[in-house]
Amino acid sequence: MHLVQLIDSLRWGGAQVLMLTFAQASQAKNIRLTIISLAPPYSDVPLAEEIQACGAQVRYFPGGGLLDLNRLRNLRRYLIAEEVDVMHTHLTYSNIIGPWVGKRAKIPLVASLHNERYKEGDNSVRRSLETFSLRLWAGRILTVGHAVQHAQRERFPNRPLPVVPNAVPPIPDLPPAERFSLRANLLQGKTGPLLISVGQLIHQKGYEVLLEAMKMLRAEFPESVLVVAGGGEYRSHLEDLASSLDLTGRVYFLGKRDDVPRLLGAADLYVNSSHWEGLPLSVLEAMSAGLPVVATEVGDVPRVLSPQAGRLVPPGEPDALAEAVREMLSASDSLPQMGQAARKHVRQHYGAQAWVEELFKHYQEVLETASQERGSFAKHPERAEEPRS
């Protein structure tokens, strides 16, 4: 089987990290795997190199715009020439382009929806195009969590939307000496505790709320430090806000990092302040690394995070977020035990191998459906006429 995973870009992000997880976990499968990015390569992001190290190919099909005709033609020719059997699309551009091209290349298609809703300011035309394209040409539409499934039913009322939850590989503990050294570097002379949050610096992630909560915790935990790993359009705004809240030396924005598992291994507590999510990979990764979590009650987080592994709070409420973090840090002796409960739950229910096996069931089913339809067209050639493009 030649399988293509089509994604908008290979920047660091939850869906992009899943491409690496898939490449790692599917190595034992007898497949040829190609990851196609609709954006050009990024020299400062080593994700493509890590994917290729797993034996997968990485190809790029950048365009001058969403519906660039040259890109559409070139992508169709590539899929046909390389005898692709199944294509799986991720994120908005891919969910628009992929079904259209896949139909014309006669390749069955699986699409994934990764979020409850679009980020504020997203183009409604793109959303409508995605809905139209998936309704018309996607063989199967998957959702990454039950909250996403529920939120997307209005767009696809007559389609089953199977849930295939995101997955993470096991993240081992750091060696003690490495952990000590990394903590010292991140704490910058303070004694801790060390809090961490990971994600793009965008409105969805609610970092303003997190900074407000850190201000409330300043007097009670003067040696605490928060590090935020991720890049994005809000960085300068958040840095200015942290300064205005007198959090200089208490909050550090690390930018895009390719060593997030190491950063998680050095921390004491993970904090997620998102306004909305699907099933955030960052929370799963933190739990896999053995971190207890304080998170907003959004998306599928309540299904993942039990009271034994962390605390849930309403989104957009810095008081509640600060109180939950305060409760956790005040009972610091229980944090390692909660972290182990988090790790055990994620490894049992969100493992990468089980995730890959579930995806392959869907790939085989759309292949079988496509084969049956081709057989029907062979008996009734009048049904096989291609729609005009």
Model pLDDT, residue 12: 81
Q: Which residues contact 298 (CB under 8 A, 6 or more apart)?
A: 116, 147, 274, 275, 276, 277, 315
What integer pLDDT is reported at residue 123 of this predicted model?
62
Checking if the pLDDT of 224 tops 90, the result is yes
Structure tokens at 176: 């003690």
| Tens-place pLDDT, residues 172-205 | 999 999 999 999 999 999 999 999 999 999 999 9
Residue 11 has pLDDT above 80, yes or no: yes
pLDDT at 384: 44
112-134 pLDDT, tens digit each: 999 887 655 556 889 999 999 99
CA separation (Å) from 319 to 243, 316, 326, 388? 20, 9, 10, 57
* pLDDT at 274 > cutoff 70: yes
Burial class (CB in 10 A: 0-12, 13-18, 19+), 8: buried
Q: What angle, 0 to 180 degrees and rounded to 10, lies between the N-to-C axes of helices 14-25 and 352-379?
A: 90
Question: What is the C-alpha separation between 260 and 199, in angstroms, rounded?
Answer: 10
Q: Write out the CATH class of domain 176-349.
A: alpha beta
Residue 314: which pLDDT band, with cuts at 50, 70 and 90?
very high
Q: Are the beta carbons of 216 and 318 closer than 8 angstroms? A: yes
Q: Has residue 44 got a pLDDT over 80?
A: no
Mean pLDDT for the chain?
A: 93
Report which secondary-structure segment, H or E, holds 334: none
pLDDT of residue 386: 45
* Cα separation, 191 vs 223, whole angstroms: 6
Work out the widest C-alpha separation in the chain, in whole angstroms: 77
For domain 2-167+351-384, give the CATH number. Answer: 3.40.50.2000
The pLDDT tens digits of the residues spanning 71-106 come to 999 999 999 999 999 999 999 999 999 999 999 999
Separation of alpha carbons 111 and 105, rounded Å: 16
Beta strands in the chain (DSSP E): 2-7, 32-37, 57-60, 86-90, 109-113, 140-143, 194-198, 225-229, 251-255, 269-272, 293-296, 310-313
Helix, strand, or coil (residue 255)? strand
- Chain segment 135-146, per-residue pLDDT in tens: 999 999 999 999
Chain-centroid distance, C-alpha 156: 22
Mean pLDDT of 25-44: 93
Pairing of strands 293-296, 310-313: parallel
Please count the CA atoms within 13 angstroms of the CA of 119 that sit on its side-chain side.
11
Residues in contact with 193: Cβ distance below 8 Å, sequence separation at least 6, in sequence order: 221, 223, 224, 225, 268, 269, 329, 332
Q: What is the 3-state secondary structure (H, E, C) of 297-315?
A: CCCCHHHHCCCCCEEEECC
The two three-digit tokens of residue 347, written as one number: 């490894």
Which pLDDT does position 375 carry in this prediction?
72
Given a cut of 90, whether residue 265 has pLDDT beyond it is: yes
Q: What is the pTM of this model?
A: 0.88
pLDDT at position 380 over 70: no
pLDDT of residue 345: 96
Q: Is the pLDDT of residue 291 over 80?
A: yes
Cα distance between residue 200 and residue 233, in whole Å: 8
State the Cα–Cα distance between residues 288 and 340, nearest whole angstrom.
9
Read off the pLDDT of each residue in 335-339 and give the average, rounded to a whole number.
97
pLDDT value of position 385: 45
Q: What's the confidence (pLDDT) of residue 368?
A: 95
Pairwise CA distance, residues 11 & 37, whole Å: 10
| pLDDT tops 60 at residue 379 | no
* In contact, 302 and 278? CB cutoff 8 Å: no
Domain with CATH 3.40.50.2000 in the chain: 2-167+351-384, 176-349
Task: Mark out the alpha helices in 120-278 (DSSP H runs).
Answer: 124-137, 146-152, 176-187, 207-217, 235-244, 260-266
Residue 2: HSE in the Cβ half-sphere, 13 Å Cα cutoff:
12
